[in-house]
Amino acid sequence: MIRLGWIPANIDDNSHYPMHQAIADLLETFNPQSCPICMKAKIRFYYTISEFQPKFMIKNGQVRGTVWVWCPNCLHWTHGSGTQLPKSVTYVNELEESEIKKVKGPYIIDNLNRFWEKGRLSESFTVI
Ligand SMILES: [Zn+2]
């Protein structure tokens, strides 16, 4: 079932900076923290190699991708592109190729959230 009402973080409702800070915190601790807006749920996230680049774009030996973050409580979401993971950190994408294709599109956050609730997304990065 599609859950509508996801709110893109933007400057007008003061959610832009907190949600981008949530990305920064996630990429610093490699574990989801509490939502910086409502503080009532842990941030959920998904990391993917950019579809506009070769499957594994390597720059200086590191992979770049996009991270999506969203809050299941207050429904704010955003994403950050060009994010680089340290060599010691990986994200295990457990989705099948066909599922990855289904994620995309106008309902991306809703799709990601449903995969999260089914336990199909990694809930933390793997730090070696
Ligand atoms: Zn929230």
For the stretch 8-38, pLDDT in tens is: 998 888 899 999 999 999 999 999 999 999 9
Which class for 64: exposed (0-12), middle (13-18), buried (19 or more C-beta within 10 A)? middle
> Residue 101: which region, alpha, beta or left (left: phi > 0; alpha: psi -120 to 50)?
alpha
Q: Compute CA 77 distance to the chain's CA centroid, rounded to the nearest angstrom.
A: 9
Q: In 3D, which of 119, 68, 120, 62 has the Cα closest to residue 94?
A: 120
CA 84 to centroid of ligand 1, rounded, Å:
25
CA 64 to centroid of ligand 1, rounded, Å:
26
CA 47 to centroid of ligand 1, rounded, Å:
19
pTM (2 d.p.): 0.87
CA 123 to centroid of ligand 1, rounded, Å:
17
CA 35 to centroid of ligand 1, rounded, Å:
5
Task: Return the higher-pLDDT residue of 105 and 108.
Answer: 108
CA 54 to centroid of ligand 1, rounded, Å:
33
